[in-house]
């Protein structure tokens, strides 16, 4: 996965949802470890060190937001104690930190921890212990498996669902094209590839080119794809590689239809360093408002986000909704019950027309996105809101 400023509005969107609590649950007070009359302990794991350390901004932003919640009286009078640990994006360390949070700190749940391999490492442990692993910061499809893992839930649209939206667009707009799928050779990249192939369903040729996350450049892969006659580049990479590739495409004088996964679309940290003119015409999707996009300058939701950032986190928002719905029944079982009962939740930093919905048999809160195209200065949304599944809208 890549890291960019989109992580901040995503974190804010999660937090803002916390302030939109529904009707109180029955007054009977029931608590599991991590909850009391005065406090709710929430665990979190992210990479504050190592190669993925830029993601640490997520933890710092969420800590700042919980400070805001506490300053405003907490959740139904209970203050949030947010305990965030560093795993360096190392699955073994993630396991160690999860055990510490559950067995020593006795948190009520672990919230929005980062990464596919890291959360995979603790998924069975969390489910065996029956501790919520809630709103994971990863789009892997495996988080939507309530039958096998009822204590694990994702938040953002899945990588497979996102890729099916691209497939639908390509079949409609470029049906005679040849796709070159350049993807990271791990669960992250393979999820995107599966979604693309499922959506294309053999109706367009696909040249598959995997690469390792430890690679220095992807120049040779691009040269190979160009030589193979590809005219559509399906780009599944993090910001560092995307910047390199946009520049390399200019050097190769090759202008394929460029479809970019949405983890690497930030204007400030990706498009500008790559050269805005070089990136003109790149296609992607979004479900969040980009704070760098002038299209949202007067948007009330973005203003609310900026006010929060200015006051609580000048350097750098869904869980509170769930905890609010729990009322005084702050048991782990009820946390998951409420998390699986979100209906049409609207959040200020999420695009208009996109709502958060969950059910006991459906653990993918956001399934809608909208296509967008980079103009050379900003992303321009176009077309309808699309549901991130085959044939949906």
Domains and CATH numbers, the chain: 7-156+296-362 (3.40.50.2300), 159-286+370-387 (3.40.50.2300)
Torsion 376-267-241-212 (CA) sign: negative
Residues in the chain: 393
The CA–CA distances, whole Å, from 279 to 77, 148, 233, 245, 355 equal 49, 42, 13, 10, 30
> Residue 173 — pLDDT band, cuts 50, 70, 90?
very high
DSSP helix/strand/coil, 88: coil
> Residue 317 — pLDDT band, cuts 50, 70, 90?
low
The CA–CA distances, whole Å, from 224 to 88, 179, 220, 356 equal 34, 13, 6, 41
CA Rg value for the chain: 21
Q: Is the pLDDT of residue 16 over 70?
A: no
- H or E element in which residue 24 lies: none
Q: Which of 44-48, 65-69, 198-202, 257-261 has the lowest mean pLDDT?
A: 65-69
Q: Which pLDDT does position 20 carry in this prediction?
A: 40
- H or E element in which residue 92 lies: helix 91-99
Percent of the chain scored above 70 by pLDDT? 90
CB 275 within 8 A of CB 247: yes
Instruction: Show the CA angle centred on residue 188, arms to residues 52 and 367, nearest 5°.
Output: 110
Torsion 296-301-302-307 (CA) sign: positive
Q: Is the pLDDT of residue 383 over 90?
A: yes
CA distance 359 to 150: 11
CA distance 291 to 302: 7
Q: Is the pLDDT of residue 54 over 60?
A: yes
CA distance 112 to 10: 10
Q: Is the pLDDT of residue 138 over 80?
A: yes
- 204-252 pLDDT tens trace: 999 999 999 889 999 999 999 999 999 999 999 988 899 999 999 999 9
- 92-107 pLDDT tens trace: 999 999 999 999 999 9
* Phi then psi dihedrals of residue 142, to 5 deg: -65, -15
> Residue 288 — pLDDT band, cuts 50, 70, 90?
confident
Q: Which pLDDT does position 275 carry in this prediction?
A: 95
CA distance 321 to 111: 13
Q: Which pLDDT does position 52 carry in this prediction?
A: 80
């Amino acid at each position: 996965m890549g890291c960019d400023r989109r992580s901040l509005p995503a974190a804010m969107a999660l937090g803002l949802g916390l302030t939109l609590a529904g009707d109180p649950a029955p007054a009977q007070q029931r608590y599991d470890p991590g909850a009391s009359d005065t406090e709710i302990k929430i665990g979190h794991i992210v990479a504050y060190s190592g190669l993925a350390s830029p993601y640490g901004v997520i933890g710092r932003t969420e800590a700042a937001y919980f400070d805001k919640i506490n300053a405003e009286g907490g959740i139904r009078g209970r203050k949030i104690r947010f305990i965030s640990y560093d795993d360096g994006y190392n699955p073994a360390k993630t396991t160690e930190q999860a055990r510490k949070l559950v067995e020593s700190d006795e948190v009520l749940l672990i919230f929005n921890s980062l990464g596919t391999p890291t959360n995979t490492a603790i998924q069975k442990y969390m489910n065996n212990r029956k501790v919520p692993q809630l709103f994971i910061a990863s789009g892997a499809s495996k988080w939507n498996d309530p039958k096998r893992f009822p204590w694990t839930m994702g938040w953002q649209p899945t990588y497979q669902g996102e890729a099916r939206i691209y497939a639908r667009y390509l079949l409609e707009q470029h049906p005679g094209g040849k796709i070159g799928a350049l993807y990271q050779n791990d669960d992250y990249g393979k999820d995107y590839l599966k979604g693309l192939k499922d959506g294309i369903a053999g109706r367009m040729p696909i040249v598959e080119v995997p690469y390792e996350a430890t690679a220095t450049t992807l120049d040779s892969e691009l040269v190979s794809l160009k030589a193979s006659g590809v005219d559509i580049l399906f780009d599944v990479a993090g910001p560092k590689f995307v910047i390199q590739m946009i520049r390399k495409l200019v050097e190769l004088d090759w202008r394929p239809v460029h479809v970019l996964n949405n983890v690497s679309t930030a204007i400030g940290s990706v498009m500008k360093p790559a050269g805005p003119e070089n990136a003109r015409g790149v296609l992607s999707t979004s479900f969040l408002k980009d704070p760098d996009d002038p299209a949202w300058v007067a948007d009330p939701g973005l203003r609310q986000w900026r006010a929060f950032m200015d006051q609580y986190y000048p350097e750098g928002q869904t869980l509170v909704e769930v905890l609010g719905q729990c009322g005084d029944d702050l048991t782990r079982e009820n946390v998951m019950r409420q998390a699986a009962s979100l209906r049409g939740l609207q959040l200020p930093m999420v695009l208009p027309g996109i709502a958060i919905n969950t059910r006991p048999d459906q653990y993918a809160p956001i399934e809608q996105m909208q296509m967008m195209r980079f103009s050379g200065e900003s992303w321009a949304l176009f077309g309808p809101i699309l549901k991130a599944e085959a044939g949906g809208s």
